[in-house]
Amino acid sequence: FFSMAFLPIARWFTLRASASARHTTSKKKNLTFAAAASAMPNPMRTKNDDVKLALGLVGPGLVGKALLDQMRDYLPVLRETRGIDVSVLGIANSRKMLLSDRAIDLSNWQQVFNEATHPSDLVGFRDHLLTCKDPVVPVIVDCSASDHVSDFYKIWMESGVHVVTANKKVNSGPLERYQAVRSLQKDRKVHYFYETTVGAGLPVISTIKGLVDSGDRIASVEGVFSGTLSYLFNNFKAGARFSEIVAEAKASGYTEPDPRDDLSGTDVARKVANLARESGLELELSDIPVRSLVPKELESCETSEEFMRRLPEFDGEMTRLQEEAARAGEVLRYVGSVDVAAGKGSVELRNFPASHPFAQLGGTDNIVLIRTKRYDPQPLVVTGPGAGADVTAGGVFADLVKLCAHFGAPS
């Protein structure tokens, strides 16, 4: 956002001097000032003025792979049009890592990574990025969902390594760890971007942050935060059986391999905890009551296959709830809420009138209603695809570009 630094500032002054000077003397003064500004050293810029990133990616799964594919296709354009030069120098998963002194060829990274034998070491991974000889910006991108990886953010950031993440575990995990990471942002002047931890590529986090940073006060945040659960209840209508909708979603790849991971509501609760903290509340994940959609009798099923086989036994209760809502002209929606005044968050299955924005959703779309001092009584609404590897990777990629703006790339 605040992207004019060093040389871009110098150019702005140069243009202003050329446009506004009326006399030779004032013109010389302005140009002299511009020249002096342009001579100021900036260790983060390369000789050809590119912003150069040394990037390590943790978690080359669905989102990580999509990100590497997007960077393969678009990094040359960014280099040409924005002066952003990104070199992927490391890729790691939970078992092994690939390290390179030169930019990894993203057209065949999978083959090279499959041949890698170096055991995963996330401290050594950081050290590799810090040994680059050129004046570069070191950044680690976390596309995993690992709590273990989250424990390394503090170590990385203490060393001056910036972090861009799609992993929800820090922002919704233990408050002490979260606060330590946020303190490092201020104390060590390192950057931490996490837009995709809520709503995939939707601008939810940045919208709330922009409101708070400009003096607005968040009153409440409420939304359908799960693409999976959005799909289930968008399609759960008269005559449908809930277990059949779950089976369809699983077959379409919309659920986790074990649908209980979605139906438990834990993922939604993590997003609520994240949003609560962004809104100024200090909530632990355990402070958020969650209405699980997993029947208690099926919590102990040993396999997802057993769970899916027995789920039809419990369709009656869900059918009753759907029919009651329909008779009232309402729909069922699985929502997460943050009430700042009350200092609490919640995850619930609730009824909404057919005219409500939540009732207008389709497919796997997410929707977020943000009420603030300024946006009241009409809330600010953010809606769109809230799941999928491509849109999530795109959001991570956008965070990388935002990071570059802090080091002189044009906005």
Catalytic residues: 271
What Cα–Cα distance (Å) separates residue 100 from each residue in 89, 103, 157, 342?
5, 7, 21, 51
User: What are the C-alpha distances in Å from 228 to residues 56, 213, 234?
Assistant: 30, 32, 10
Neighbours of 133 (CB within 10 A): 6
The closest alpha carbon to 58, from 136, 135, 170, 199, belongs to 170
The whole-angstrom separation of Cα 377 and Cα 355 is 16
Three-class DSSP category at 349: strand
Token pair recorded at residue 357: 């924005």
State the residue for tokens 């609404």.
Answer: 381
- Which tokens sit at 74? 């678009």
- CA dist., res. 404 & res. 379, Å (int): 32
Paired residues of 372 in beta bridges: 218
Partners of 99 in beta bridges? 90
CB atoms within 10 A of CB 48: 9
Buried b (16+ CB within 10 A) or exposed e, 177-186: bbeebeebee
334 neighbors 340 (Cβ within 8 angstroms)? no
Give the three-class secondary structure for 119: strand
Reading the block at residue 248, the tokens are: 């369809």
* Rounded Cα–Cα distance for residues 194 and 200 (Å): 10
Residues listed for the chain: 411
Q: Identify the three-state secondary structure at position 147.
A: helix
Question: In this structure, are residues 363 and 230 in contact, taking their beta carbons and an 8 Å threshold?
Answer: yes
CA distance 123 to 141: 14
Give 356's contacts (C-beta < 8 A, 6+ positions apart): none
Which two three-digit tokens encode residue 9? 């500032």
